[in-house]
Chains A and B, each alone.
Chain A
Amino acid sequence: MTATKAPSEPTQKPAVRRPGDRIFAGTAKASGILILLVLAGVAAFLIGEAIPALTAPAEEIPGGEGLAAYIGPLILGTLMGALLALLVATPLAVAIALYVTYYAPRRIAAAMGYVIDLLAAIPSVVYGFWGLAVLAPALRPFHTWAADTLGFIPFFAGPASSTGRTMFTVGLVLAVMILPIISAISREVFSQAPALHREAALALGATRWEMIRMAVLPYGKSGVIAGAMLGLGRALGETMAVAIVLSGGAGATLTLISSANPSTIASNIALKFPEATGIDVNTLIASGLVLFVITLGVNMLARWVVNRRADFSGAN
Chain B
Amino acid sequence: MSTPTRIAPEVPARPTGPVRTQRRLPRFAPLGLYLAGLALGAALAALTGSGLTTAVVYGVVLGTLAVFVASRIVEGPRKATDRLVTALVTTAFGIAMVPLLSLVWTVLDNGLPRFDAQFFTNSMYRVVGEGGGAYHAILGTLIITALATAISVPIGLMTAIYLVEYARGRLKKSITFFVDVMTGIPSIVAGLFAFALFTLLFGGGVRLGVMGAVALSVLMIPVVVRSCEEVLKLVPNELREASYALGVPKWRTVVKVVLPTAIAGLGTGITLAVARVVGETAPLLVTVGLITGTNLNPFDGRMATLPVFAFYQLTQPGTATQAFLDRAWTGALVLIILVMALNVVARLISRFFAPKTGR
Contacts and interface: CB of A to CB of B under 8 A. Distances in A.
A207 to B, nearest CB: 4
A150 interface: no
Interface string A292-316: 1001101110110011000000000
Contacts of A130: 99, 102-103, 106-107
A27 B87 CA distance: 55
B207 to A, nearest CB: 9
Contacts of A28: 158-159, 161-162, 165-166
A210 interface: yes
A112 B100 CA distance: 12
Interface stretch (A16-24, A55-63, A64-72, A156-164): A16-24
Interface in A255-310: 266, 269-270, 273-274, 277, 281, 284-285, 288, 291-292, 295-296, 298-300, 302-303, 306-307
B286 interface: yes
Contact of A7 (B155, B164, B332): B164
A99 B193 contact: no
A225 interface: no
Contacts of A218: none
B196 A285 contact: yes
Interface string A16-53: 10101101110111111111101101100110110000
A214 interface: no
Interface in B301-325: 307, 310-311, 314-315
A4 B197 contact: no
A125 B163 contact: no
A23 B250 CA distance: 11
Interface in A1-21: 3-4, 6-8, 10-11, 14, 16, 18, 20-21
B93 interface: yes
Interface in B247-261: 249-252, 254-255
Contacts of A221: none
Contacts of B85: 208-209, 212
B233 A96 contact: no
B44 interface: no
Given A7-B235, A35-B225, A46-B196, A95 B93 contact: yes
A31 B162 contact: yes
A198 interface: no
Contacts of B86: 103, 208-209
A96 B96 contact: yes
A203 interface: no
B306 to A, nearest CB: 9
B163 A239 contact: no
Contact of B82 (A21, A38, A208): A208
Contact of B184 (A6, A42, A288, A295): A295
A74 interface: no
Contacts of B229: 4
Contacts of B291: none
A125 B332 contact: yes
A8 B249 contact: no
A49 B199 contact: yes
Contacts of A233: 184
B78 interface: yes
A85 interface: no
B339 A31 contact: no
A179 interface: yes
A32 B281 contact: no
Q: Interface range on chain B: under 10, 10 to 19, 20 to 34, or 35 or more? A: 35 or more
B237 A244 contact: no
A92 interface: yes
A24 B233 CA distance: 18
A125 B171 CA distance: 37
B159 A103 contact: no
Contacts of B10: none
Contact of A35 (B179, B190, B241, B251): B179
A196 interface: no
A134 B102 contact: yes
A170 interface: no
Query: Which of B103, B161, B315 has the largest number of chain A CB atoms within 10 A?
Result: B103
Contacts of B202: none
Contacts of A200: none
A116 B96 contact: yes
Contacts of A152: none
Contacts of B91: 95
Nearest to B214: A38
B61 interface: no
A285 B145 CA distance: 24
Interface in B232-246: 232-233, 235, 237, 240-241, 244
B233 A4 contact: yes
Nearest to A129: B332
A58 B113 CA distance: 50
Interface in A85-130: 91-92, 95-96, 98-100, 103-104, 112, 115-116, 118-119, 121-130
Given A45-B197, A130-B103, A274 B182 contact: no
Contacts of B138: none
B193 A45 contact: yes
Interface string B151-175: 0001110110111111110010011
Contacts of B211: none
B230 to A, nearest CB: 10
Contact of A36 (B102, B166, B168, B174): B174
A-B interface, 8 closest residue pairs, ranked by CB to CB distance from nearest: A237-B186, A123-B279, A95-B92, A24-B251, A299-B184, A28-B162, A31-B158, A239-B282
Interface of B: 53, 78-79, 81-82, 85-86, 88-93, 95-97, 99-100, 102-103, 106-107, 110, 154-156, 158-159, 161-168, 171, 174-175, 177-190, 192-193, 195-197, 199-200, 204-205, 218, 221-222, 225, 229, 232-233, 235, 237, 240-241, 244, 249-252, 254-255, 275, 278-282, 285-286, 289, 307, 310-311, 314-315, 328-329, 332, 335-336, 339-340, 343
11 contacts: A8-B164, A14-B249, A28-B159, A35-B155, A38-B221, A41-B193, A41-B197, A95-B88, A129-B314, A130-B103, A299-B184
